Amino acid sequence: MKKCKYCGKGINDNLEFCQDECKNKYVKMLEKDSPKIKYFTFGIILGSLMMFWGVFSGSSLKTGFGIVLMGITVVLLPFTTPETIAVLGYQRSKLMGRFLGILLIIVGIWTSIP
């Protein structure tokens, strides 16, 4: 069964959203999200560089900090891929993104403790 792109509720095959409200919200969210993509990319790149720097220099603090940085980026700007949106719906994939971000922060803190 197809799912509403916004809330993830099951819908009729020839529809994309369960109601007009979901469609409007989805379009608004996309408009709101697009300018933030560069910050998201920046945060992820910075976090992974930091993480690799930490790994190569053998510093668990730097590695952990890099992971935390990526986690914070994902929690603040949970951009999800079109694939996850198709499976879970927009709202659920955002929640999922937040959850993964929090997980990254926990892993990062745990990593930074020698």
Binding interface with Zn ion (CB under 5 A)? 4, 6-7, 9, 18, 22
Any residues with CB less than 8 A from the CB of 76 and at least 6 apart, and which?
43, 101
Shortest distance in whole angstroms from residue 7 CB to Zn ion: 3
The per-type count for the chain, helices as H runs and strands as E runs, is 5, 2
Shortest distance in whole angstroms from residue 16 CB to Zn ion: 9
56, 102 contact by CB (below 8 A) = no
Shortest distance in whole angstroms from residue 77 CB to Zn ion: 23
Choose between 32 and 38: whose C-beta lies nearer to Zn ion: 32
Choose between 20 and 83: whose C-beta lies nearer to Zn ion: 20
Angle between helices 60-76 and 90-112 (to 10 degrees): 160
Choose between 92 and 98: whose C-beta lies nearer to Zn ion: 92
